């Protein structure tokens, strides 16, 4: 049997307990956790709440992505796939940016709910932290892209593309991407489409947005919700906090102003939503995030993937207001459009084609790779055809290349060639020129060519076989 432990009695008769082990002598006794049971319970509760929150938000995100995401039927932006971009990853000019077509539609509550009421190309320069917005009027008269046929207002393309019987991959948004890319001559990588109800709910969920109303508006003909009666809208000039309903009226009203003023106001609201949605007060508020996700799931469609959205937020959140450029295609004295009536009010290019519009697009959607390298170019016409060198120079200038010299070569050449005299310091410009012009590149420059234009980074020799692109 185990020996029973001996006890020691105090002089007053009280019992003294002996320590069981030496460790008990040298290790102080821990305070009993029973005195603080709420600490354990609180820690457990916090853990449970956190896990539930993560589960809810995570499930919400997955659910919303499933609701709003559709397959991208066109090109994607290299910047949302790779943290670091090499020149070889660029398909052409404009791929140094992230171009997103923003579409606003009325939605199911209206008989013409699939018409594109708002058409804005949002172009992000992730290298220099800049954004450019270009609004395209819904009354622009265009030739419809295949597989559609015919001509009409650009806003109808979305509606036609959404018709179930057509079975068009990507539907209305994909048709709009194709058309806008054709008109502006820039790649359109993604789209985001929101209906009016979703717009109102998003603004309300954010707690409203702050906007500087540049001039007072009074619109007695603003349509009522039943689209039959009127619901007059007015707002004074100055700084205003707008709720969802007022914000929608602010961006839709045009009876007493113009469609171009309206486009400018739409760009204002986009900037205000961007500021509010990326603010700490929203990002740190779990309920607000869940509420926003609920709104998005019901009223938004996009071909951006989850990972692309995450990367996009990281890029956009650091872009300041002063680095956001806005432009509206209009029919003003210096605008590229004029109004006509062919049975309906429409807008057509002043020049008869899209070249003037494309020049505007190229100027505001400057490729950051070309801008940062700032390569100087000389063009030599060795084709034997007068004016061919000028045509190539003009084409390149439209794409914001810096062409300093255009000369006639000392002799005719069958072969066209790009000569890199920069010692490899302008890799992106060389790569983009190679893809645009379809020419080979050499770093060995013949002496007669070098002597004609000795101070340029790049020399382009236009040979007999080269056909100038009319794009």
**pLDDT tens profile 61-87:** 555 666 787 889 888 999 888 878 888
**pLDDT tens profile 343-354:** 889 999 999 999
pLDDT at 124: 94
Mean pLDDT along residues 393-402: 93
**Given a cut of 70, is residue 138 above it in pLDDT?**
yes
| Percent residues over pLDDT 90 in the chain | 55
- Do the bridges between strand 190-195 and strand 98-105 make them parallel or antiparallel, or are there none, so unpaired? parallel
Q: Which of 13-17, 362-366, 419-423, 435-439 has the lowest mean pLDDT?
A: 13-17
pLDDT at 137: 94
> Coil, strand, or helix at residue 37?
helix
The answer for residues whose C-beta is within 8 angstroms of residue 449's C-beta and 6 or more apart is 380, 409, 419, 459, 461
Mean pLDDT along residues 365-370: 92
Q: Output 233 or 284, whichever has higher pLDDT.
A: 233
**Given a cut of 90, is residue 360 above it in pLDDT?**
yes
**pLDDT tens profile 443-455:** 998 888 877 777 8
**pLDDT tens profile 92-127:** 888 999 999 999 998 876 667 799 989 999 999 999
pLDDT at 4: 47
Mean pLDDT along residues 360-387: 94
pLDDT at 40: 55
pLDDT at 56: 46
pTM: 0.80
The alpha carbon of 33 is separated from its chain's Cα centroid by a whole number of angstroms, namely 55
pLDDT at 41: 56
The answer for residues whose C-beta is within 8 angstroms of residue 314's C-beta and 6 or more apart is none
Query: Average per-residue pLDDT in the chain?
Result: 84
Q: Which domains does the chain have, with CATH numbers?
A: 69-364 (3.40.630.190), 374-462 (3.30.70.2390)
**Given a cut of 50, is residue 5 above it in pLDDT?**
no
pLDDT at 92: 87
pLDDT at 468: 77
**pLDDT tens profile 275-290:** 888 776 776 676 777 7
Nearest partner of 143 among 186, 175, 171, judged by Cα: 175
The model's confidence at residue 186, banded by pLDDT at 50, 70 and 90, is very high
**Given a cut of 90, is residue 22 above it in pLDDT?**
no
**pLDDT tens profile 207-219:** 999 999 999 999 9
Q: Which of 7-11, 360-364, 377-381, 405-409 has the lowest mean pLDDT?
A: 7-11
CA geometry: angle 159, 135, 292, nearest 5 deg: 70
Distance of alpha carbon 147 from alpha carbon 183, whole angstroms: 17
Residue 343 backbone class (left: φ over 0; alpha: ψ -120 to 50; beta: rest) = left
pLDDT at 53: 46
The model's confidence at residue 251, banded by pLDDT at 50, 70 and 90, is very high
The model's confidence at residue 358, banded by pLDDT at 50, 70 and 90, is very high
Mean pLDDT along residues 13-33: 47
pLDDT at 85: 86
The answer for residues whose C-beta is within 8 angstroms of residue 247's C-beta and 6 or more apart is 199, 200, 203, 208, 209, 211, 269
């Amino acid at each position: 049997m185990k020996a029973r432990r001996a006890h020691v009695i105090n002089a007053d008769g009280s019992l003294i307990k002996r320590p069981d082990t030496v460790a008990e002598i040298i290790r102080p006794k821990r305070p009993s956790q029973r005195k603080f049971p709420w600490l354990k319970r609180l820690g457990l509760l916090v853990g449970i709440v956190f896990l539930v929150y993560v589960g809810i938000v995570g499930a919400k995100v997955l659910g919303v992505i499933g609701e709003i995401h559709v397959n991208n039927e066109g090109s994607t932006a290299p910047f949302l796939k790779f943290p670091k971009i090499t020149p070889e990853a660029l398909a052409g000019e404009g791929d140094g940016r992230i171009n997103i077509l923003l579409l606003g539609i009325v939605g199911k509550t209206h008989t013409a709910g699939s018409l594109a009421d708002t058409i804005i190309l949002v172009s992000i320069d992730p290298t220099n932290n800049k954004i450019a917005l270009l609004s395209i009027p819904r009354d622009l008269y265009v030739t419809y892209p295949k597989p559609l046929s015919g001509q009409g207002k650009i806003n109808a393309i979305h509606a036609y593309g959404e018709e179930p019987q057509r079975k068009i991959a990507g539907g209305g948004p994909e048709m709009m991407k194709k058309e806008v890319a054709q008109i502006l001559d820039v790649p359109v990588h993604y789209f985001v489409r929101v209906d009016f109800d979703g717009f109102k709910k998003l603004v309300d969920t954010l707690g409203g947005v702050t906007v500087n109303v540049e001039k007072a508006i009074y619109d007695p003909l603003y349509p009522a919700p039943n689209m039959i009666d009127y619901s007059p809208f007015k707002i004074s000039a100055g700084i205003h906090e707008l709720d969802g309903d007022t914000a929608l009226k602010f961006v839709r009203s045009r009876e007493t102003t113009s469609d171009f003023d309206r486009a400018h106001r739409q760009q204002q609201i986009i900037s205000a939503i961007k500021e509010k949605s990326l603010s700490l007060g929203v990002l740190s508020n779990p309920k607000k995030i869940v509420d926003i996700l609920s709104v998005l799931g019901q009223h938004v469609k996009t071909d951006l993937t989850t990972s692309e959205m995450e990367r996009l937020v990281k890029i956009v959140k650091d872009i300041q207001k002063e680095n956001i450029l806005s432009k509206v295609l209009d029919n003003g004295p210096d605008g590229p459009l004029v109004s006509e009536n062919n049975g309906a009010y429409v807008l057509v290019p002043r020049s008869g084609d899209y070249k003037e519009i494309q020049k505007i697009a190229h100027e505001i959607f400057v490729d950051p790779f070309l801008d940062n390298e700032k390569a100087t170019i000389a063009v030599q016409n060795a084709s034997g055809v007068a004016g061919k060198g000028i045509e190539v120079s003009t084409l390149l200038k439209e794409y914001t290349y810096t062409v300093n010299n255009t000369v006639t070569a000392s002799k005719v050449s069958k072969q066209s060639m790009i000569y890199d005299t920069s010692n490899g310091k302008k890799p992106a410009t060389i790569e983009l020129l190679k893809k645009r012009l379809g020419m080979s590149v050499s770093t060995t420059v013949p002496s007669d060519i070098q002597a004609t234009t000795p101070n340029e980074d790049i020399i382009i020799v236009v040979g007999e076989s080269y056909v100038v692109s009319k794009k």
